[in-house]
Amino acid sequence: MDIRSSMLLTDLYQLTMLQGYMEQGMEDIAVFEFFIRKMPPQRGFFLAAGLEQLLEFLEQAHFTAWELEWIAKSGRFSRSFVDYLERWRFTGDVHAMPEGTVCFANEPLVRVIAPLPQAQLVETRLINLMQYQTLVASKAARSVLMAAGKPVIDFGLRRAHGAEAGLLAARASYLAGFAGSATVLASPLFGVPVFGTMAHSFVQAHSDEIEAFEHFALAQPGNVILLIDTYDTEAGARKVVELAPRLSQQGITIKGVRIDSGNLIDHAFKVRRILDEGGLTHVLITASGNLDEYAIAEIVSSEAPIDYLAVGTKLTVSSDVPYLDCAYKLQEYARRPCRKKSEGKATWPGRKQVFRYYDQHGRIAHDVLTLIDDPQEGQPLLQPVMESGKRHVALPSLAATRDYVSQQLRQLPDSLRRLQEGATVDVKIAPALERLARIVDAPR
Amino acid sequence: MDIRSSMLLTDLYQLTMLQGYMEQGMEDIAVFEFFIRKMPPQRGFFLAAGLEQLLEFLEQAHFTAWELEWIAKSGRFSRSFVDYLERWRFTGDVHAMPEGTVCFANEPLVRVIAPLPQAQLVETRLINLMQYQTLVASKAARSVLMAAGKPVIDFGLRRAHGAEAGLLAARASYLAGFAGSATVLASPLFGVPVFGTMAHSFVQAHSDEIEAFEHFALAQPGNVILLIDTYDTEAGARKVVELAPRLSQQGITIKGVRIDSGNLIDHAFKVRRILDEGGLTHVLITASGNLDEYAIAEIVSSEAPIDYLAVGTKLTVSSDVPYLDCAYKLQEYARRPCRKKSEGKATWPGRKQVFRYYDQHGRIAHDVLTLIDDPQEGQPLLQPVMESGKRHVALPSLAATRDYVSQQLRQLPDSLRRLQEGATVDVKIAPALERLARIVDAPR
């Protein structure tokens, strides 16, 4: 069973509310928008991500026979409701920022326009899909910026929160500019390049470290990257130097070494010297172990001779910001704009567009959030991507999205290209939107 | 496609190492153990969880035709290796702590004893499955302790990291003592009781709040829980009082209200008074919105009249500790004990058992970590659960595991029943284990 497409992967209240909508015939057009409420101080910008998985979900969404049977047997719902669910499909329109778009708090990343019971029911999975990839892509982009051109690789599957998180983290980080991932399944599913070295257990299973290196080289002659820190990092590097001529006679070249513990900067300098003195100037150094954008910034500013950076857990769980304060809120129903006023959680009503303005160097200056019928001079960020439940046009390939992200990152103001807490871009609320909020709030 | 059981949901290096093992005929018995390296200061104990999903994975693990084809086409592996993978099955033994067991740093939660290529290949998914449920169950237990008997419900699916995380969080938190979850799919898959109320969008879609309440009540007459904070919480409570007699005439009783924003304690007192004065003393109050064990402790100590506590995002992502520093390490190969000595990451060698000691009140006093052939008087925590790749005995039901957890929590020392940073239980290393580590480290 593919839990990813199950219609029961939702909150119970979506179903109970749906029965209410059905009974009252409330099937007018609803407009929901997905947005992030606040910038956490550790993030100056986000990269919108997850749209492809969302559109796949919407296109295919339907209740299977066993799901309908379970709902019927649960005793919570009427027979006519189960019949109604059997016919339920998503036939709405979706507007969204293209994946990889730089975005900020209060800006809709996705707008869903559909009959209320359709737009409502997809809420839980929509948030689940959009939040996680946006979270990971946004954090990955920070590593990419700090790495200053060094390739970064995702090693995070094992400590990701479950199967789908590990898989989507590989996609989201590649989209953000990573060179690839260790997660094999991300290659057939998303075309993400996969990378791999060896584990400590391979070394430990041999009684001799140099023998382990040799066996690995023989098994993977085209991809010899040796993990040298199982017992003593510099001793490991000397064994690599000792082994190299022997492998060379068999036509095998050592491509790299990996260091995974201790002070990575310090070890990298020492290992580089040992390799160079041993004539192995071509052997590249990969560093891993507890890396994130902060550690990468240190490595780069130290000028440590590290060629590849592998980032695992802290990326995959977005350890400093493990969730976004995000929501999918009803902004209009049956042509009546509405908003939630709950304390600290009020939202902007109506169908909105984000317009982006640039300075004379092509860097993002500010955004304007307003209603779609209040056009501005700036660049509009939301585009139609789905019409009547079908994808409007083919989404760009992941490779094209990566190029787009790299452009987007070049447009960031300098303050967002550093790890500067609290820096962000101003999102101005247009007078037309302020006005609508006042009208909506007026006592009825 | 069920990504949860895909053999490609692994790190590339597992496959490259496996080809090395195959070519060298390294198929002797390996012993790996899964453990958590360090207690984070915010956790005094863990609850082991995830074993059922792990054993299912091991029992069913095999490469499908398309996976083999992808591996063959990748150009990284030999034809004989692909044939070897086609025959690959897990035929090993597993010893583990029962799910729900209280545990601490350095203690093996799971031991795998299998031919090296089997024990190696399952590493990535084993960690992925065990870490996440242990993480969530451990955090959920803290909420259960702080709630002091009030039922706690998981509302976290939408902000979980993907589909599997949301689903397993429902299981892990129920196992730890939650009353249930809003995640529907957790009911058919795990038998977790599901709970649900209504969302703000339901209220907003109506032009009148009281009409929204009435429509919801008519649709779900057996489960009328009304969300009252969309516009003004106390005004919402007064509308509930106004509506109650009208519903009562139709034989419908309002079961509860939910508050999701603002100062929950303050609102609860005010809402309780409004309900009581309106004759609705039987109507229960559910609080949600940014709750975790810390907020629950405050609520309980304030004696706020809150009956149900719904915990979402902060549980599902384990926001204060979003990952565990955990590992699955080779401790013995071909009867030779071994360990990794990498700086800051050294592990204890050999096959180990944890023995638990209690004080005169039946509370956990300390644990002893030693070799399995060094029996102690304490209670041994690891038990055989799988033999030759088949489950040894049926695992306890989730309901039985919940009872076991509630016993386990009663055995915690007082310091671990509070949210006291840095408190934990001493895990003593037995002399026999210290001795083995010295022998293993001796220069060869």
In this predicted structure, what is the pLDDT of residue A444?
57
Q: How far is A25 from chain B (nearest CA, A)?
A: 11
| Residue A91: CA count within 13 A, CB half-sphere | 9
Residues of B in contact with A130 (CB under 8 A): none
Residues of A in contact with B155 (CB under 8 A): 11
In this predicted structure, what is the pLDDT of residue A71?
97
Residues of B in contact with A157 (CB under 8 A): 9-11, 124, 128
Q: Around Cβ A245, how many Cβ atoms within 10 Å?
A: 10
Global pTM reads 0.97
Cα–chain center distance at B444: 42
Q: How far is A416 from chain B (nearest CA, A)?
A: 25
Q: Six-digit token pair at A433?
A: 């939107």
**Strands across the sheet containing A427-429:** A379-380, A352-358, A364-371, A427-429
In this prediction, the answer to ipTM > 0.90 reads yes
Residues of A in contact with B323 (CB under 8 A): 159, 313-314, 317, 319
In this predicted structure, what is the pLDDT of residue B105?
97
Nearest CA in chain B to A232: B342
Residues in chain A: 444
In this predicted structure, what is the pLDDT of residue B340?
79
CB A230 within 8 A of CB B30: no
- Nearest CA-CA partner of B265 in B240, B241, B233: B233
Q: Do A19 and B230 touch (CB under 8 A)?
A: no
Rounded Cα distance between A81 and B330, Å, is: 54
Rounded Cα distance between B78 and A182, Å, is: 20
Tell me: the pLDDT tens digits for B191-226? 999 999 899 999 999 989 999 999 999 999 999 999
Q: Do A194 and B9 touch (CB under 8 A)?
A: no
In this predicted structure, what is the pLDDT of residue B441?
87
Rounded Cα distance between B74 and A364, Å, is: 41
Q: How far is B70 from chain A (nearest CA, A)?
A: 7
Residue among B196, B204, B318 whose CB faces A340 most closely = B204
In this predicted structure, what is the pLDDT of residue A347?
86
Q: What are phi and psi of A393, to 5 degrees?
A: -140, 165
Q: Do A201 and B329 touch (CB under 8 A)?
A: yes
Rounded Cα distance between B128 and B107, Å, is: 18
Residues of A in contact with B202 (CB under 8 A): 17, 20-21, 120
Rounded Cα distance between A90 and A31, Å, is: 14
Nearest CA in chain A to B124: A158
B60 CB-contact burial (10 Å; exposed 0-12 / middle 13-18 / buried 19+): exposed
Chain mean pLDDT for chain A: 96
The stretch A196-224 carries a mean pLDDT of: 94
Q: Is A433 helix (H, G, I), strand (E, B) or coil?
A: helix
Rounded Cα distance between B406 and B195, Å, is: 21
CB A202 within 8 A of CB B337: no
Q: Is A139 helix (H, G, I), strand (E, B) or coil?
A: helix
- Sign for the CA dihedral angle at B285, B287, B293, B299 comes to negative
Q: Do B260 and A205 touch (CB under 8 A)?
A: no
Which site among B34, B76, B118, B323 would you substitute to test the A interface, given the most A Cβ atoms closer than 10 Å to its Cβ? B323
Rounded Cα distance between B320 and B142, Å, is: 12
Q: How far is A254 from chain B (nearest CA, A)?
A: 15
Q: Six-digit token pair at A311?
A: 């980032």
Tell me: the pLDDT tens digits for A336-373? 998 878 777 778 999 999 999 999 999 999 999 999 99
SS3 content of chain B, % helix, strand, coil (to 5): 40, 20, 40
Residues of B in contact with A16 (CB under 8 A): 196, 198, 216, 219-220, 223
Q: Six-digit token pair at B129?
A: 């499955």
Residue A80 has pLDDT above 60, yes or no: yes
In this predicted structure, what is the pLDDT of residue B442?
84
In this predicted structure, what is the pLDDT of residue B444?
57
- Nearest CA-CA partner of A439 in A349, A345, A371: A349
Q: Which residue carries 């509506």 as its tokens?
A: B243
Residue among A198, A233, A313 whose CB faces B17 most closely = A198
Residues of B in contact with A443 (CB under 8 A): none
In this predicted structure, what is the pLDDT of residue A66?
97
> Which amino acid type is present at position B379?
Q
Q: Do B219 and A19 touch (CB under 8 A)?
A: yes
Q: Six-digit token pair at A276?
A: 């160079």
Rounded Cα distance between B325 and A414, Å, is: 34
Residues of B in contact with A185 (CB under 8 A): 3, 6, 8-10
DSSP 8-state code for residue A396: P
Q: Do B17 and A163 touch (CB under 8 A)?
A: no
Residue % of chain A over a pLDDT of 90: 95
Rounded Cα distance between A164 and A53, Å, is: 11
Domains in chain A, ordered, with CATH?
3-137+322-441 (3.20.140.10), 142-316 (3.20.20.70)
> Which amino acid type is present at position B53?
Q
Which site among A1, A6, A14, A17 would you substitute to test the B interface, given the most B Cβ atoms closer than 10 Å to its Cβ? A17
Task: State which residues of chain B have pLDDT below 50.
Answer: none
Q: Do A13 and B196 touch (CB under 8 A)?
A: yes
**Strands across the sheet containing A284-287:** A180-181, A152-154, A308-311, A284-287, A254-259, A224-227
Nearest CA in chain A to B215: A20
- Quick one: residue A108, left, alpha or beta (phi over 0 = left, psi -120 to 50 = alpha)? beta
Q: How far is B131 from chain A (nearest CA, A)?
A: 7
Nearest CA in chain A to B347: A230
Residues of B in contact with A260 (CB under 8 A): 342
- Nearest CA-CA partner of B132 in A338, A329, A160: A160
Q: Do A3 and B124 touch (CB under 8 A)?
A: no
Rounded Cα distance between A384 and B116, Å, is: 52
- In whole angstroms, how far apart are CA A59 and each of A17, A167, B162? 22, 21, 19
Q: How far is B254 from chain A (nearest CA, A)?
A: 15
Q: Do B200 and A165 touch (CB under 8 A)?
A: no
Q: Six-digit token pair at A335?
A: 């042509």
Cα–chain center distance at B192: 14
Rounded Cα distance between B366 and B357, Å, is: 5
